[in-house]
């Protein structure tokens, strides 16, 4: 009996097309500024993939995600710069920094396991504010407000990346591809199904035998590891880390990418992070340059959060599952809407006056 061939979904077709086209982009576009924008977009894409594990898969609202980004960046900066005279290689530090960030994810997750909803969001928000302030105050270790500079850049087979954005582009491209494969395998694994059960109803998941404690800790640690990985690439690209790079707006930007693309959807994460990164790093600066040509001086980058707000309000009103939402998420939202309609109809029926027999 012949098995039916699996039909490719639109998401699969787009992903295949991008996988084929993206490696050849630097051969077509020789503008270093454009490649740098794509590298920055890739860094935020890895951040969004990690946060999607915590928020999209497990349903745990994390407003301090930038803290793990800072931890990964500083971990690499302190051992690959003149700060302590150490110059560790970039390649093993990718895994070390990711592991350190994952450890702090467990440290954050352990005392917050009993919290849910707004309370969890407030605790993670506090953690996200504490970490940059800690790096700011530890001047002898982290350089204080000046940060750590002259960070070593990657080398491979004797080739030094230097200021050329093209090798960083291919590095980020490979890391994003591996991150997507890993996150997709997590989503379809037993652990991924446990996260989704917790997201839908934690009490029901616990009664069905899901170890919610382990699953939550795994979500925090694995999500943090992606942020630590992004931090290593970001630190080596900029050759500088400072506390002002990891403010609350970073966490909000990454969360906005998830909401825009679709929480729980990997294609949505890619789309949302790509759109907001292009808006932030390319469209708004270019818009300012175009306006300056006619004699006006407007810094559109100062209005980016206003634009984020307008975009998110429109998304919530007209497409709450996101631009490329997961099918399961769409079904959940439709079920909730149907329940709300039924509840409203029942309430209206109960309020109707009863005629005496």
The per-residue pLDDT for 69 is 97
pLDDT value, residue 117: 81
Give, as one character, the DSSP assignment of residue 75.
H
Confidence at residue 298, expressed as pLDDT on a 0 to 100 scale: 80
Supply the pLDDT for residue 60.
92
Confidence of residue 5 (pLDDT cuts 50, 70, 90): low
CA distance 222 to 50: 7
Report d(CA 213, CA 226) in Å as an integer. 21
Q: How far apart are CA 161 and CA 179, in angstroms?
A: 22
- The string of pLDDT tens digits covering residues 69-92 is 999 999 999 999 999 999 999 999
185: which residues sit within 8 A by CB, 6+ positions away?
none
Does 186 fall in a domain? yes
Question: What are the distances in angstroms from CA 224 to CA 12, 23, 65?
Answer: 27, 27, 7
**Cβ-contact 165, 239 below 8 angstroms:** no
Classify residue 340: in a domain, yes or no: no
Q: Is the dihedral of CA 311, 327, 250, 62 positive or negative?
A: positive
pLDDT at 345 over 80: no
Please give the pLDDT value at position 286: 87
Burial of residue 140, with CB atoms counted within 10 A of its CB: 0-12 exposed, 13-18 middle, 19 or more buried: exposed
7 domain-assigned: no
Window from 20-29, 112-121, 214-223 with minimum mean pLDDT: 112-121
Res. 6 pLDDT band, cuts 50 70 90: low
Asked, for residue 37, whether it belongs to a domain, the answer is yes
Per the structure, the complete domain to which residue 293 belongs is given by 21-323
Tens of pLDDT, residue by residue over 193-232, are 999 999 988 999 999 999 999 999 999 999 999 999 999 9
Domain contains 253: yes
Q: Percentage of residues in the chain with pLDDT exceeding 90?
A: 66
Residue closest to 46 by CA, chosen among 281, 227, 220:
227
| Structure tokens given for 154 | 């990657």
Q: What's the CA gap between 328 and 218, in Å, rounded?
A: 22
| 214 Cβ contact list (under 8 Å, min separation 6) | none
> In the predicted model, what is the mean pLDDT of the chain?
88
Q: How far apart are CA 266 and CA 50, in angstroms?
A: 11
- Confidence (pLDDT) at 1: 47
How far is Cα of residue 23 from the mean position of the Cα atoms in its chain? 22
Task: Confirm if 65 and 231 have CB atoms less than 8 A apart.
Answer: no
- Lowest average pLDDT, out of 33-42, 55-64, 66-75, 290-299, goes to 290-299
- In DSSP terms, 81 is beta-bridged to 86
Among the listed ranges 15-19, 60-64, 186-190, 342-346, which one has the minimum average pLDDT value?
A: 342-346
pLDDT for 238 beyond 70: yes
pLDDT score at 300: 83
Its pTM stands at 0.90
Residue with tokens 């001047």: 139
Residue 336: the pLDDT is: 59
For residue 127, which of 217, 64, 70 has the smallest C-alpha distance?
64
| Number of domains forming the structure of the chain | 1
75 found inside a domain: yes
Residue 79: name the closest of 236, 207, 302, 200 by CA.
236
Asked, for residue 319, whether it belongs to a domain, the answer is yes
Q: In the beta sheet, which residues pair with residue 149? A: 240
Residue with the bigger pLDDT between 138 and 344: it is 138
For 262-319, the pLDDT digits (tens) are 999 998 999 999 999 999 999 988 888 887 777 778 888 888 888 888 988 999 899 8
Establish if 331 belongs to a structural domain.
no
CATH number for the domain that contains residue 169: 1.10.3470
């Amino acid at each position: 009996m012949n098995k039916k061939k699996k039909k490719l979904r639109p998401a699969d077709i787009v992903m295949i097309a991008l996988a084929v086209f993206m490696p050849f982009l630097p051969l077509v576009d020789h503008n270093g500024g454009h490649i740098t924008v794509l590298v920055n977009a890739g860094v935020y894409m890895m951040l969004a993939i990690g946060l999607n594990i915590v928020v999209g898969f497990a349903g745990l609202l994390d407003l301090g995600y930038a803290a793990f980004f800072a931890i990964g960046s500083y971990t690499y900066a302190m051992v690959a710069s003149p700060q302590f005279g150490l110059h560790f290689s970039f390649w093993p530090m990718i895994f070390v920094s990711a592991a350190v960030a994952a450890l702090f994810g467990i440290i954050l997750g352990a005392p917050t396991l009993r919290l849910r909803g707004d309370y969890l969001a407030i605790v993670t928000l506090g953690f996200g504010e504490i970490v940059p302030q800690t790096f700011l105050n530890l001047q002898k270790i982290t350089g204080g407000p000046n940060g750590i500079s002259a960070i070593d850049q990657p080398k491979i087979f004797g080739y030094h990346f230097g200021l050329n954005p093209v090798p960083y582009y291919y590095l980020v491209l490979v890391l994003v591809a591996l991150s997507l494969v890993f996150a997709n395998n997590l989503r379809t694994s037993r652990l991924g199904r446990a996260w989704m059960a917790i997201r839908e109803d934690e009490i029901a998941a616990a009664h069905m035998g899901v170890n919610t404690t382990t699953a939550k800790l795994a979500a925090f640690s694995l999500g943090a590891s992606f942020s630590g990985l992004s931090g290593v690439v970001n630190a080596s690209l900029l050759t500088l880390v400072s506390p002002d790079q990891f403010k609350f707006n970073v966490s909000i930007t990454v969360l906005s990418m998830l909401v825009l693309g679709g929480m729980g959807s990997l294609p949505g994460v890619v789309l949302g992070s790509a759109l907001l990164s292009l808006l932030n790093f390319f469209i708004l600066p270019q818009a300012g340059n175009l306006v300056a040509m006619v004699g006006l001086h407007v810094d559109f980058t100062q209005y980016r959060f206003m634009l984020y707000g307008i975009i998110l309000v429109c998304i919530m009103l007209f497409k709450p599952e996101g631009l490329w939402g997961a099918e399961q998420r769409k079904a959940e939202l439709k079920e909730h809407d149907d329940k709300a309609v039924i509840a409203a109809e029942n309430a209206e029926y109960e309020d109707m006056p009863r005629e005496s027999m």
